[in-house]
Structures are given as structure tokens and as C-alpha cells.
Amino acid sequence: MDEGRGLVLALPVSPAQPIGWWQLEDGVTISSGQAGTLDSDAELADILSSSDDMRVMALLPASETTVYFSKWPELAPAQAAAAASLQTAKKLMGQAEEVHCASAALSDTSPVRAVSAAVSGQYLASWLEALALAGIDPDIVMPAGLLLPEPDEGAIAGDAGNGPVIRTADTVFSDEPALRDILLGDIAVTQLNTDEMQAQIASSFADPPLNMRQGIYAKKHAFKWLTRQQIRTLAIMAAALITLSLAIFLVQIGKYAIATEMVKSRALAEAQQIFPNVADIAGAEQMADAELRQRGAGTRMFTVPTAALFSAIEPLGTISVRQMSYQADGTISVTLAAVRKEDIDSALILLQQRGYAVTVPPALTQDATGSVVANITVRAL
């Protein structure tokens, strides 16, 4: 998640009131506006729908929050934050409604200082529910008064769009005339203009001094396998990989086809030197077989299937040959006899494994001696 890019919402006292918003990019405000409701502003809706990985900060109005600053010179930052939270809870103990307290150690302070804030639990929960209905789950919830920088002297005032607020070195409070008179008296107040407030919004967005999403209100980060952009990227990569694989496959097929045709062409050219009238490979094979038969050679000669037959039955020692004949196409017809049918089956399977075509009758018979008899044919492929 890019911490310099996102959206800041100035939550009003009531969801029925207008909501101020700022869109940030690289720590700079690129657009802003005021929405009547969360779902009524078209530009705000476009910003929210443009990314599912956008950082969102919600600012609570000063009138609904109480902010305290405290010093803890003998504690580490983490311990100071915990002590400040307990101190704030103790101060607010006994209130009628539930109060949510959050704290954090301020950076680069010596001695260690902590900021803590309190807000009605019901108020915070109602706003989180309202935001959730609009599809917003803010990463940061912070009192608007903490946008203001800590003054070196006097007080600083500003308005983030959800009510004017004043900050001194020790406190933050809603800028109301009565409170000014009581808490400030004659202390000088520096008023931040719109540009200065936008600069403070961008600064606090990048490095918020306090996030009230702690404890039971901490953001529950749902595990996401992939963002939409990552899914799109993977889809493009997968499509490219499939296309590349298909292209390689087609190229290989093409290479094999070309190589096969070249081999066939060379074989046909060599065959035509012997048989000038041959037109294709099949014809060349037929003429070569015929020539070999005339010479008594080739796979169709009598000795080829006969030798294969005897090499298959000899190791078994239980099969006898009773009759044999030879045909011109290289096929021998044989009558085999054995005590067991399984012996004949073993011999025939061996012949087939060695590349010979074997035909067997549907059922074997027995002769008067009880031997199993099979009339088969064997031919070299």
C-alpha cells in the first residue's frame, strides 16, 4: 500500500451533515470536495472504485474527542503509550457511556511524550458502520485536532472541514468562544489558512501521530490473495505463456512435418533409382516387397516368421508343431499343440511383443490325446 496516496475524510458530528474529502497523490492534494453523503458524490465514488488498495484516513471532529498530552521521562516509547492510555481511561472512569481510548508515543521527543485520545465507543462504532455501508474501511481514524502542529508558543487554530479546532502545547479543543476565553485568555492564536491546512493533512496522512483504530476497533485485515491489478497482470502473463507454448508446439509440428516430408522425398528418390515407375512411398514398398520375394529375401521370406515362431516356443519346452504351411505374402500357418493352454498363450504374446502379426481362433480345441490345439498364423509386420 502506497502511504503517500489515498483519501482523507473529515467526518462531521452527524452522518447527515456534509463530509469534506481530499484525494492525495505522492503527498500532494490533487482533488478535494464536499459530499452531501458518502454515496451521493460521483467524484468521490469514482475515487473509491478506482483502487481496492487505497489508504483511507478518517478525521473525527474535535467536539467529539478529548485529547491529552503527557510526559514520561523514565519510560520507553511503547511503555509511555500504554501508561498514557491507562491514565486517560482513569480520568474518564465513571462516565455513563462506553469510552474508547487510544494512545501513541510522539516521535522525536525528549523526554518521551505521549498523546492519548478518547471518543464515545458508540459514536466511533456508528461512523465505522456508516463508512462500511459505503464500502469504506478506514486504515486510520484520528482526531482532527492532531492535524495542527504543536506550537512553539501561543496556540494554533485551523479547520479541517468538520469544525474549527485549537491546539496548544498541552491540549486540543474545539474552537468555541467560551472555551477560548476560559482556556486561552490573552494567549495569541495563529490561524492556519486553507493551503496550510492541506499541507498538514498531507503530512499527517503520511505519518499520523495517533491512530484510534486500536483494541476492539482495530482494523481487521482480510487476507487477499491478489488485487485486481495483479489478477489482470497474471491473466496477461498466462495468456502470453499459453500463446508462446502453442506457438512452440506448432513450430515443432511444422519442423517434424517438414523433416518427415524430406525423409519421404529422399526415400522416394532413392526408390525411383531402382524402380523408375514408382509414384509414391506405398508403391515403392509394394515393389520392394515383390522384388525381395522373388529373391527369397526380406521379411516376407519363409525363414523370418518361422525363426520367430521357434524362438518363442523353444524356451517353454512344452509346445510341439504338428503342421506348417507358407503363403506368398510371408504368412505361415501353424498348428500348435501343448498340454496347457497357458503355454500357447505365452508364446503368442511373445511373438506379438516382437512385432509379428498373430491370428488365433476364438476358442482352442483339444484332440483325442487331451492336448490343447491351436491353428494360428504368423506374419512379420
Q: What is the dihedral of CA 345, 346, 352, 358, to 10 degrees?
A: -30
**Secondary structure element (H or E) that encloses residue 120, with its range:** strand 113-120
Q: Percent of the chain scored above 90 by pLDDT?
A: 26
- 9-45 residue pLDDT tens: 999 888 778 888 888 888 788 888 888 777 777 787 7
The answer to whether 9 and 20 are in contact (CB under 8 A) is yes
Q: Is the pLDDT confidence value at 1 over 60?
A: no
Grid coordinates belonging to 188? 495569541
What 3-state class would DSSP assign to 144?
Answer: helix
Please provide the average confidence, as pLDDT, over all residues in the chain: 85
pLDDT in the model for residue 192: 92
CATH architecture of 6-222: 2-Layer Sandwich (3.30)
pLDDT in the model for residue 297: 61
Q: What is the dihedral of CA 84, 88, 89, 93, to 10 degrees?
A: 150
Q: Is the pLDDT confidence value at 4 over 70?
A: no
The mean per-residue pLDDT over the stretch 366-380 comes to 88
Residues forming a β-bridge with 146: none
Cis peptide before 111 (omega within 30 of 0): yes
- 267-323 residue pLDDT tens: 888 888 888 888 888 787 777 767 766 665 666 677 888 888 898 888 888 899 989
Instruction: Looking at the chain, list the stretches that DSSP marks H as alpha helix, in order from N- to C-terminal side.
Output: 42-49, 77-91, 121-133, 177-183, 194-206, 228-274, 281-295, 303-313, 341-353
Dist CA 332 CA 311 (whole Å): 15
Assigned CATH topology for domain 299-380:
Gyrase A; domain 2 (3.30.1360)
Grid coordinates belonging to 237? 502473463
Q: What are the Cα distances from residue 293, in Å, to 285, 297, 298, 299?
A: 12, 6, 7, 9
pLDDT in the model for residue 104: 92
pLDDT in the model for residue 51: 66
Residues forming a β-bridge with 141: 58
- 164-210 residue pLDDT tens: 999 988 889 888 888 888 888 888 889 999 889 888 998 899 889 99
The answer to whether 209 and 104 are in contact (CB under 8 A) is yes
Grid coordinates belonging to 185? 485568555
The DSSP call for residue 149 is: P
The answer to whether 136 and 45 are in contact (CB under 8 A) is no
Dist CA 302 CA 379 (whole Å): 10
Grid coordinates belonging to 251? 513450430
Hunting for cell 464500502 — which residue is that? 135
pLDDT in the model for residue 239: 93
pLDDT in the model for residue 52: 65
Dist CA 202 CA 50 (whole Å): 20
pTM across the whole model: 0.56
pLDDT in the model for residue 274: 83
- 205-262 residue pLDDT tens: 988 999 999 989 998 866 556 677 788 889 999 999 999 999 999 999 999 999 988 8
